[in-house]
Structure 1
Amino acid sequence: MSRVPDDVVWMRASASDGDDAVEVARLPDGGAALRRAADPDCEPHVYTAAEWEAFVKGVDAGEFDLPG
Structure 2
Amino acid sequence: MTSRVPEDVVWMRSSTSAGDDAVEIARLPDGGAALRRANDPDCEPHVYTAAEWDAFVKGVDAGEFDLPE
TM interval, shorter chain, is over 0.9
> What one-letter code is carried by the residue in structure 2 that aligns with 1:62?
G
User: What are the equivalent positions in structure 2 for 1:43-54 lying under 5 Å apart?
Assistant: 43-54=44-55
User: Identity rate of aligned residues, in percent?
Assistant: 88
Deviation larger for 32-41 or 9-18? 9-18
Moved over 2 A (4+): none
Structure 1: runs of 5+ lacking an equivalent:
none
Find the counterpart in structure 2 of residue 23 from structure 1. Answer: 24
Deviation larger for 4-13 or 18-27? 18-27
- Cα distance in 2 between the residues matched to 1:8 and 1:49: 16
Instruction: Give the CA RMSD over aligned residues.
Output: 1.0
TM-score normalised by structure 2 residue count = 0.92
Find the counterpart in structure 1 of residue 38 from structure 2. Answer: 37
